[in-house]
Amino acid sequence: MDRYGVMGNPVAHSRSPWIHHRFAQLTGQDLRYERLLVPLDGFARAVQDWREQGGLGCNVTVPFKFEAAALAGAQLTERAQLAGACNTLCFEAEGGLRADNTDGIGLVRDITLQAGVVLAGRRVLLVGAGGAGAGVLGPLLQAQPASLTLTNRSPAKADALAARHAPVARRHGVLLRACGIDALDRGYDIVINATASSLGGADSPVPASVLREGALACDLMYGPSAQPFLDWAARHGAVPRDGLGMLVEQAAESFALWRGVRPPAGQVLRELRAALAAGTA
Ligand code: NDP
């Protein structure tokens, strides 16, 4: 049976095996997908071992996405290069490797296809310049919003990330700017929280004035930790959305890269939500 997995530390909480097994059932693919707990100092070795054990590829999650990009070197796709991080490895013949980042396209597909919200021509606020912010910025720009404002608790990181993406923004005609949280405008159409602020129990890292009435407010987190942000958004007249759809869509993109078949992400997202609510996933 073809073998894939997700490498991380910790990894026990990962829903990826559930998602990929369901994709496989629905597309008639024969594969096994495993959780691969990797020692913090052993990522490169673990990739080599997985390959030698017959693995055909893997996803990469916290904290190894940057190390995966460094390991892949010149074999990174353009979007992974821009992100400086990688979440999907495809092992190819004769030791070849293709390394990609599907997080950003996963978020864009969730917003546009699952939530049904148009990105083109809108005013977007992206909060967070860590690994997740870096992963989603390029694909968000490619979706051609009118403007994209990037902010972060540590403003220098937002400045650096925006500078790296300036050519992509220009190519797609997007007004890209980075600014401190205290310099944000009011009333964005789409607000994306790509920070880990919810982990500390905070509701939002930005003031409610950034939300226009009916704005889409996404937190990349899902599960109970996302709830304070979602409640905050709803309280201020926005439409809240958690990161579960992004999780399923980034997995669908990885699955399509490995297997050449696009699984029905919308169906699997609905099923996963139901299974989580019932405590069976
Ligand atoms: P990183 O550790 O790389 O970055 C953390 C980011 O959060 C930084 O921008 C940091 O700001 C900011 N931050 C942390 N705490 C606070 C706070 N209290 N207030 C304001 N900003 C804060 O993490 P990642 O970028 O990898 O992950 C961010 C989130 O995205 C995680 O919660 C993760 O679960 C989620 N995620 C979801 C995915 C999905 O498929 N749904 C995929 C990938 C990530 P500073 O630079 O100032 O430290």
92-121 pLDDT, tens per residue?
988 889 999 999 999 999 999 999 999 999
Global confidence as pTM: 0.96
Q: Residues lining ligand 1, CB < 6 A?
A: 62, 103, 128-133, 152-154, 157, 194-197, 200, 202, 205, 220-222, 243, 246-247, 250
Q: Across residues 45-54, what is the average pLDDT?
A: 97
Q: What is the pLDDT of residues 165-211, one digit of tens each?
A: 999 999 999 999 999 999 999 999 999 999 998 888 889 999 999 99
Q: Which atom of ligand 1 is nearest to the CA of 127?
A: 9
Angstrom distances, CA of residue 70 to CA of 43, 73, 98, 212, 240: 11, 5, 13, 40, 35
Are 163 and 229 spatial neighbours (Cβ–Cβ below 8 Å)? no
Edge-first strand order for the sheet with 123-127 is 175-179, 147-151, 123-127, 188-193, 211-219, 239-241
Helices (H) and strands (E) in the chain, counts: 10, 11
Q: How far is the CA of 61 from the centre of ligand 1 (A)?
A: 13
Distance between CA atoms of residues 224 and 232, nearest Å: 14
* Structure confidence at residue 184 (pLDDT): 98
Distance between CA atoms of residues 234 and 214, nearest Å: 9
Active-site residue, selected from the candidate residues 65, 79, 98, 165: 65
Can 157 be counted among the known catalytic residues?
Answer: no
Whether residue 155 has pLDDT greater than 90: yes
Q: Of 11, 64, 220, 253, which is best to mutate to test ligand 1, by the most ligand atoms within 8 angstroms of its C-beta?
A: 220
Q: Across residues 252-272, what is the average pLDDT?
A: 98
The residue contributing the CA closest to ligand 1 atom 15 is 197
Query: In the chain, what is the greatest distance between 2 CA atoms, to the nearest angstrom?
Result: 55
Token pair listed for 36: 């691969």
